[in-house]
Chains A and B, each alone.
Chain A
C-alpha cells in the first residue's frame, strides 16, 4: 500500500481513542495496583510504604487463606462440568430428530444473569426448597439439609451451581471443536468399519484434547474470579467469601485500598499463569498446524 501523509493521519486517528482507553482503564490501574499493594493507602491520605506486609497478612491470616480455599471448590466442580459438557457435545454433534430443540434448551442457563441464577438456586437450596422437596418425594428425606447454613456444605453447594451455569459455554467450545474436524477423517473411519465408540475414542477425543485443556485453564482462571453467586446469594456470609468479594469489601467498605490492591495482584498473577499457559498451548498448536 502507498504511504502518504493521509495514511498516517488515518492510522493515528483510528487508533488514538481506543489505545488511550486501554491505557487509562487497564494498564494504568494494574500498574498503580502493583505499586499500591506495597503501601497502606486508604484512598484519602498519601500512601505509605509498608513493604510486603499486605502480602504477608494475606498468606498467613486464616481468614484470608479461606478465600482461596473457597476457590478450590469451584475448580473441583469444573471436572464433572467439563465431562458433562463433553459428552453433550459428542451426542449433539450429528444429525437427529429434535437437535435444534436440544441445542436451544441446553444453552439457556448460559444466557441467564447472576441475579436470576442466584434466585433460582436460593429456591433450589432453601429449607423447603426444590432439592429438599425432591429428596423427600424420593423417600430420601433424611438427606434433606439446610444447605446454605451448614458451614461444611455451603461452599460445595453453591460452587456446584457453576456446573449448571457454565457447562453451556464448555459445551459450545467442544461442539465448535468437533464441527471443525474434517469430514474426511470420519469418512475414512466409516470405510474402515469403525464403530461409533471407536470413532469417539480415536477421532473425537484426540482432536479436541487441546480445547479440553484450554477449558481446564479457563475454569481455573474463572474460579479465582468468582463473585456473583456467593455475593448475591449470601453476601459472602457463612464462610463463602471469595477473593473478589474481599477486594470489594476491603477497598470500598473498609477503605483498605493497599490491601485490596495486594489481593488484586494475587488474583492477577493466578490469571496470568492460567491464561499464559493457555496461549502458549495455542501457539504450539498453530505452529504444528502451519
Chain B
C-alpha cells in the first residue's frame, strides 16, 4: 500500500465521523422517544433526551397491545422453514448443475438465470390468484411457499463453493461404492457449509425485513413482524411514543444477530456481491 499522508488520514476520520453522524442522527430521536412519557413527548423537542432512561412503560405497552411477540414467532417459523427448504433445494440444484452433464442442462440453467429479469413485484397479480386457488391466502404456507424457491444468486454462491471441492473426492467415494445421493449427503453438503452460511445470512436478512410479500398474503390474524409493525404504526389511535418503542424492539433481534455475525455478514455480503 502507498503510504498514507497525514492529511489523508485526517480527512478519512473527518469523513467517516461525518458518515456516522449521518447514520445516527435520524435514529437518535426514535430512541429518545421510546423512553419518553406521553406528555413529555408532546412538550419536548425530538432532539431532547428523555428525562428517565428507565421508563419502560412504552415497551411493555407495545408488547402487550401490538401482537408483536406472536408476529415475531410467526416470522421465526416462516424463516426457519423456508430457509431450510430453500437451502436444501439450492444445494441439490447446484450439485446437479456442477457435477453432471445431461441433456437440457443449459435450458435448466438459463431458466434459473433469466428469473433475475422477472422482479417479484411484476408477477404478483397472477401469483395472488394461484395462491388464492390453492387456498393459502392468510396462511403462513403462502409466504413459505414463495420464499422457498431457488434463486440464481444462491446458485452462483453454491457453484463457487463447488469449484473448491475436488472432484476426486466424489470419484473415490464412487469407487468405494457410494451412491450419488450418498456423495451429495456426506461429501458435498458438509463441504458447502461456508456457502450455506452466506446464503442463510443474505436471504435471512432479506426475508426478515420483507414487507411486500407478507403484506399481500398475510393481512389477517396471522402476521409477520413487519406486517404487525405496520398495522401498529398505521393505527392512528396508537400514541407515537409507543410506536417508537415497538420499532426499537423490532431493531433488537436484527442487531443481536448482527453483533454475533458481523464478520460473516460483512464478507458474506461483499463476497456475494462480487460473485
The chain A residues found within 8 Å of chain B, CB to CB, are: 1-2, 6-8, 10-11, 14-15, 17-19, 21-30, 32-33, 36, 43, 84, 87-88, 91-92, 94-96, 98, 100, 102-109, 111-116, 118-121, 123-124, 126, 128-130, 133-134, 137, 164, 169, 172-173, 175-177, 179-180, 183, 186-187, 189-190, 194-199, 221, 225, 227-228, 232, 244, 247-248, 251-252, 257, 260-261, 264-265, 267-268, 271-272, 275-276
Contact = CB atoms under 8 A, between A and B. Distances in A.
Contact of B250 (A108, A116, A130, A244): A116
B121 interface: yes
A116 B251 contact: yes
A265 B121 CA distance: 10
A105 B121 contact: no
Contacts of A176: 270-271, 273-274
B102 to A, nearest CB: 5
B100 A11 contact: yes
B211 A115 contact: yes
Interface string B99-130: 11110000010011001111101111111111
From DSSP, what is the main secondary structure of chain B's interface residues?
helix
Given A10-B181, A119-B247, A267-B122, A130 B270 contact: no
Contacts of B47: 130, 133-134, 137
Interface in B57-85: none
B209 interface: yes
15 contacts: A2-B174, A7-B100, A21-B148, A26-B118, A36-B125, A108-B23, A112-B251, A119-B243, A120-B26, A173-B270, A190-B3, A248-B124, A252-B128, A257-B125, A264-B121
Given A1-B100, A6-B179, A123-B46, A21 B1 contact: no
B274 A177 contact: yes
Contact of A18 (B149, B170, B216, B270): B149
Given A8-B102, A105-B23, A115 B233 contact: yes
Contacts of A33: 122-123, 125-126
Given A26-B123, A119-B247, A268-B118, 15 more contacts: A17-B89, A22-B112, A28-B130, A30-B123, A106-B20, A113-B226, A128-B45, A164-B22, A164-B23, A176-B271, A196-B4, A244-B121, A248-B216, A257-B125, A264-B122
Contacts of B237: none
B128 A251 contact: yes
A128 B116 CA distance: 42
Contacts of A87: 15
Given A96-B9, A180-B274, A112 B149 contact: no
A217 to B, nearest CB: 12
Given A1-B101, A6-B180, A15 B96 contact: yes
B150 interface: yes
